[in-house]
Amino acid sequence: MSRILIDGRFIGVGESISRYTLELLSHILELDKKNNYTLLIRPAGVDACGRSFDIEKLELGNLIRNSELEIRNLQIKVLDIKHYSTAEQFGLLKFLNCGKYDLVHFPQFNHPTRYRGKFVVTIHDLILLNHAKANFIKKMAFVPVLKSAARDSAAIITASEETKREIIYTLRGREEKIHLIHHGIDHSKFNITAKSHREFLDKFCRENKIENDYLLYVGAWKLHKNLLRSIHAYEKYVSENEKFVHLVLVGKVDKREKAVIKAIEQCNNEAMKRRGKGSAIITAGEVKSDNDLAQIYAGAIAYVMPSLAEGFGWPPLEAMACGTPVISSKISCMPEILGDAVSYFDPLKVDDMADAIKKIISDHNLRQKLIKLGLDQVKKYDWTETAKKTLEVYKEILEK
């Protein structure tokens, strides 16, 4: 029996890595009754853990007061140490050394660089290094941690061949210790039955004044997401075609992305002049419930994935699972993850993206074909398989 710690400090503060950590751990616990697990979280992650592991409210109170709670073969501990902080390098190091864990899994590259115990690291992508807007001082801080993760870990897990190649080329990661393990999607929430549930969708459309079919984008407004070009492509489609559709943006409105906000305003102003009513681009903000999000996916005429760089890409897969056709960028890991189930475009060419939008809207047979292919493609991505393969990595390291 081994003692394994999962660093869950992103739970409650980082959506994608939070989801990965909770889904992975919950499925590992279903499969592995032998080893003892510890989940380390910050106070911000308490509610998320309570929902995921069915902890009673009283126990949640004890969790906060006592800084730990044990459920079956899972112990939850609370330690308020932020990522990208000095405390991560000293306070977390002390905590891990005192715990004497047989194995630690860091679901993001953040770790104490002087930790000498066995550890696995998941490197989702190298966007922070290659694509994100980061000042020199910030890069100076995280690059050594990222390189240490690649160099000192017993194993590296990543979710796409694209990221694996980047780890080998950019970080000089040893190929033999890199394990390609795709993420899963939650098929209990994102599935074709979402098309028959419209309670939330009808309300969503009324509140956002969505009167026509809509294209959908779900995600952040970060530079590598290529949202600005997709807005220009949509505007080009609207200006040149009679059939009108909205573009709905689901996700946090990022006021720092002034160019995106300006492009949305200009597009809406032009659409208002032509149509005499309503906004063309709808900024709907965040949707808290996955069940509600599934209805929004299912209601879209198509999902648009314009990204320039991704480590995996959940939204287009979730859209496929809900029976919605997808058009996507043909670079980064998208062809690998989405296969032949989508219609691709060059994300650097606005005209090519606008043509893809026109084709998916006007061609009913294409949409039906992509819906069928998409439903088959998403069967490849299952959290139980992700957990099984991750457990194999744990076993290999622990037996050395």
Q: Render pLDDT for 97-123 as a digit per residue (tens, 0 to 9).
A: 999 999 999 999 999 999 999 999 999
pLDDT number for residue 58: 41
220 & 344 share domain: yes
Across the strands, what pairs with 366?
Answer: none
320 & 345 share domain: yes
Tokens of 375: 């439903």
Per-residue burial over 300-309, b if 16 or more Cβ lie within 10 Å, else e, is bbbbbbbbbb
pLDDT number for residue 48: 79
Q: Check: CB of residue 260 under 8 Å from CB of residue 228.
A: yes
HEC string for 175-213: HHHEEECCCCECCCCCCHHHHHCCHHHHHHHHHHCCCCC
pLDDT digits 0-9 by tens, 54-98: 655 445 555 555 555 566 788 999 999 998 888 999 999 999 999
Domain residues for the domain of 53 are 3-184+383-399
pLDDT number for residue 400: 82
Which amino acid is present at 258?
Answer: K
160 & 274 share domain: no
pLDDT number for residue 15: 83
117 & 180 share domain: yes
**Running DSSP on this structure, what letter comes out for residue 283?**
E
132 & 202 share domain: no
166 & 281 share domain: no
Q: What are phi and psi of 67, to 5 degrees?
A: 65, 15
Q: Who's near 228: CB < 8 A, 6+ residues apart?
A: 259, 260, 263
319 & 332 share domain: yes
pLDDT number for residue 57: 47
121 & 262 share domain: no
pLDDT number for residue 59: 53
Q: What is the pTM of this model?
A: 0.92
Q: Check: CB of residue 59 under 8 Å from CB of residue 69.
A: yes
In angstroms, the CA 192 to CA 200 distance is 16
13 & 45 share domain: yes
179 & 300 share domain: no
| CATH at residue 39 | 3.40.50.2000
Identify the three-state secondary structure at position 328: strand
Tokens of 231: 């807005």
For the chain, what is the radius of gyration of the CA atoms?
Answer: 22
pLDDT number for residue 85: 86
| Helices 15-31, 383-399: crossing angle, 10 deg rounding | 70
pLDDT number for residue 68: 59
Q: Check: CB of residue 247 under 8 Å from CB of residue 218.
A: no
Query: Within 13 A of 334's CA, how many CA atoms are on the CB side?
Result: 24
Pairing mode of beta strands 68-71, 74-78: antiparallel
SS3 percent helix, strand, coil of the chain, rounded to 5, is: 50, 15, 35
- How many other CB atoms sit within 10 Å of the CB of residue 373? 17
177 & 201 share domain: no
Could you say which residues of the chain have pLDDT below 70? 54-71, 131-138
Q: Check: CB of residue 189 under 8 Å from CB of residue 294.
A: yes
Task: Please count the structural domains in the chain.
Answer: 2
391 & 375 share domain: no
